[in-house]
Amino acid sequence: MAEPSASVEGLIAGLADVGYIASGRIATALYMALHLQKPILVEGSAGVGKTELAVCAAALLGLPLIRLQCYEGLDESKALYEWKYGKQLLYTQVLKDHMGRGLAEAPDMESAMAALHGAGDLFFSEPFLEARPLLAALRAPGGAVLLIDEIDKSDEAFEAFLLETLSAYQVSIPEIGVIKATVPPVVFLTSNNVRDLGDALKRRCLHLHIPLPDQALEERIVAARVPGVEAALRGQLVAFVQALRGMDLRKLPSISETVDWARALILLHARALEPQVVRETLNVLLKFEADIAAVEPRIGELISGRP
């Protein structure tokens, strides 16, 4: 079989094999990311499969997935690297005698200082470096898929700090120098639009907006994710969800909710959408009390598909 990353069609087929039904645009974005070596910034409402795309791409490419979950207050020492202070302390303690002996033999102050300088550099070297996700992704020998999840939740300072990593695939560590990636990782950034990202970051990324899917695509996704559901029920439940998206709700159900609902219906041995079953499982689809209250009286007409 040809390498899946050689063409967009290959990527669509390959992603389908690992359980991700991608639209042409999604596959094209991944294709461009692989060939232009640029990160992808994935946007879309919660549950449309942003994170899942990275997971499936890692599976498809056979690369390890390294994940960095962003949150307010995330800083370098948690994202990039940290020194193993404990190990450094332990080593200095253990080597105290040895160092004392070495220094005692030094004829004068200057040579003792010189010996100390050499030892000091030893403690800030790679064996004492604790690699956090970003560094780990750069140092992965065969490349990796790096998922920087919910970048919009992080601070702006962190966003600025990411720029070096994302554009040059390198990091600067003051004590060691610049570490460059041997194989540039495939980077996914996801955002829920909690805040607007900076232009500098956007410029460095390919931009992919995943919309809510249409009926046909969503049916295929449900079929891939929940193989046990029968075709008739599948069409019915997807049509129901699609109808819900036309309503004025606080949180529209997205793909993950549809998939969860399909699973729930199978668990309840539902053969077709009955008002009773729908009413009991509506809380899987809708996450707000007000939304449920708004939909409940209209279940009958939503199932029949007539306004």
Partner 1 sequence: MQHALEDFLRALRAQEIAISPAEAIDAHRAAAQVGFADRTLLRDSLCVTLAKTAPEVGRFEACFDLFFSRSRRGQTDRGAPEEVGDPSAEAFDLEASLETGDAAALAAAMEVSAARVGASDIRLGSQRNLLTRRLLDDMGLRTLDARIASARAADDAATRALAERLTRGRADLFDQASAFVARQARLFAGESGRRMREQILGRQRLTAVEPEDVAAMSALVRRMAHRLATKYARTQRRAGKGRLDLRRTLRRGLAHGGIPFEIMWKSRKLEKPKIMVLCDVSRSVASAAQFLLLFLHSLNDVVESLDAYAFSDHAVCVNDLLNDERVEDATALILDRVGFRSTDYGRALADVMAQSDANRGGARLDRRTTVIILGDGRANHAEPRLDLMRAMSQRARAVIWLNPEPATYWGQGDSKMDAYARFCAVAKTCNCLDDLERVIADVLRTYVKS
Closest among 244, 186, 245 to 62, alpha carbons compared = 186
Alpha helix stretches (DSSP H) within the chain: 8-17, 24-36, 50-61, 76-79, 85-94, 96-105, 109-123, 133-139, 156-168, 199-204, 215-225, 231-245, 255-267, 275-285, 289-295, 299-304
Q: Which stretch binds partner 1 (CB under 8 A): 31-39, 176-184, 236-244, 269-277?
A: 31-39
Q: Please, what is the minimum distance in Å from the beta carbon of residue 202 to partner 1? A: 5
Nearer to partner 1, 8 or 140 (CB): 8
Residue 156: burial class (beta carbons within 10 Å; 0-12, 13-18, 19+):
exposed
Nearer to partner 1, 29 or 259 (CB): 29
Residue 202 in contact with partner 1, rule: CB under 8 A: yes
Residue 2 in contact with partner 1, rule: CB under 8 A: no
Residue 246 in contact with partner 1, rule: CB under 8 A: no
Residue 131 in contact with partner 1, rule: CB under 8 A: no
From CA 162, how far away is CA 9, in angstroms rounded? 32
Encoded tokens for 88: 């450094």
- C-alpha triplet 219, 221, 225: angle, nearest 5°: 120
Count residues binding partner 1 (CB under 8 A).
25
From CA 84, how far away is CA 89, in angstroms rounded? 9
Whole-angstrom CA distances from 224 to 9, 15, 284, 303 are: 18, 11, 19, 23
Q: Which stretch binds partner 1 (CB under 8 A): 20-28, 168-176, 250-258, 272-280?
A: 20-28
For the beta carbon of residue 142, count every other beta carbon within 10 angstroms.
10
Q: Please, what is the minimum distance in Å from the beta carbon of residue 45 to partner 1? A: 10
Query: In this chain, which of 89, 160, 232, 290 binds partner 1, going by CB under 8 A?
Result: 89
Query: In this chain, which of 5, 43, 249, 257 binds partner 1, going by CB under 8 A?
Result: 43
Query: In this chain, which of 96, 207, 245, 250 binds partner 1, going by CB under 8 A?
Result: 207
Q: Which residues from 147-176 bind partner 1, rule CB under 8 A?
A: 156
Q: Are 28 and 8 in contact (CB under 8 A)?
A: yes
Encoded tokens for 224: 């891939």
Residue 250 in contact with partner 1, rule: CB under 8 A: no
Residue 195 in contact with partner 1, rule: CB under 8 A: yes
Nearer to partner 1, 117 or 203 (CB): 203
Encoded tokens for 20: 């991700």
Encoded tokens for 62: 């056979």
Nearer to partner 1, 22 or 147 (CB): 22
Nearer to partner 1, 154 or 281 (CB): 154
Judged by the rule CB under 8 A, the positions of this chain that interact with partner 1 are: 8, 24-25, 28-29, 31-32, 35-36, 38, 40, 43, 85-86, 89, 156, 195-196, 199, 202-203, 206-209
